[in-house]
Amino acid sequence: MALFIDPIASTSLRLAVTGDVDALIWAVTDGEALKANPIARQILEKDVLPKYHLTLDSDSSQIWIPKDPSYNLFLDLKNVKAEYLDPESILVSKAIKAKGKNKNLVLEALASEKFMSLGDRIIDEGGDLEYFLGE
């Protein structure tokens, strides 16, 4: 979903349409982040996402975020703040954790030259850059 929201990724890459959202959910109480807060998750699943015909990915708890990510503000309401992971970090995660199904996407991102640190970050995280460039 974040790749669709991001103006550079959404105009530079051919993205497959998806109906689910990968999300790490925190609730902040008295300045303390409570990861995997069940109330916040329930609100997201039952009230927010259905309005946009989306569902929460059941594997969201398995999200892996590479080193040095940045986040972009998407929504800032009184009781809800939503940020999305920068597209380059998403692409690194896809290259490391699901390289087979994301080979074309990562190769396209590398070729676009819009994500200048992507190759270096894949290598830094222990990924196989040759897998994407080898053919």
Selection from 28, 128, 12 nearest residue 82 by Cα? 28
14-69, pLDDT tens digit by residue? 988 777 788 777 766 666 666 666 777 888 888 888 888 888 887 777 789 999 99
- What's the pTM value of the predicted model, to 2 decimals? 0.83
Tell me, rounded to whole angstroms, the distance of Cα 55 from its chain centroid. 15
Q: Do 76 and 37 share a structural domain?
A: yes
Boundary-marking domain end, from 47, 63, 85: 85
81-118, pLDDT tens digit by residue? 788 899 999 999 999 999 999 999 999 999 999 999 99
Domain hosting 16: range is 2-85
Q: Do 92 and 74 share a structural domain?
A: no
Residue 43: Cβ-neighbour burial (10 angstroms; 0-12, 13-18, 19+) = middle
Tokens encoding 84: 């999305």
Amino acid, res. 8: I
Cβ neighbours of residue 105 closer than 8 Å, sequence gap 6 or more: 13, 14, 15, 91, 94
The CB density around residue 1, as the number of other CB atoms within 10 Å, is 19
Q: Considering Cα of 6, then 92, then 25, then 71, what sign does the dihedral take?
A: negative
Phi–psi pair at 72, nearest 5 degrees: -115, 135
Tokens encoding 83: 């940020």
Q: Do 80 and 92 share a structural domain?
A: no
Q: Do 69 and 13 share a structural domain?
A: yes
Task: Return the pLDDT at 34.
Answer: 61
Q: Do 95 and 60 share a structural domain?
A: no
Counted domains in the chain: 2
Task: Return the pLDDT at 122.
Answer: 98
Q: Do 119 and 75 share a structural domain?
A: no
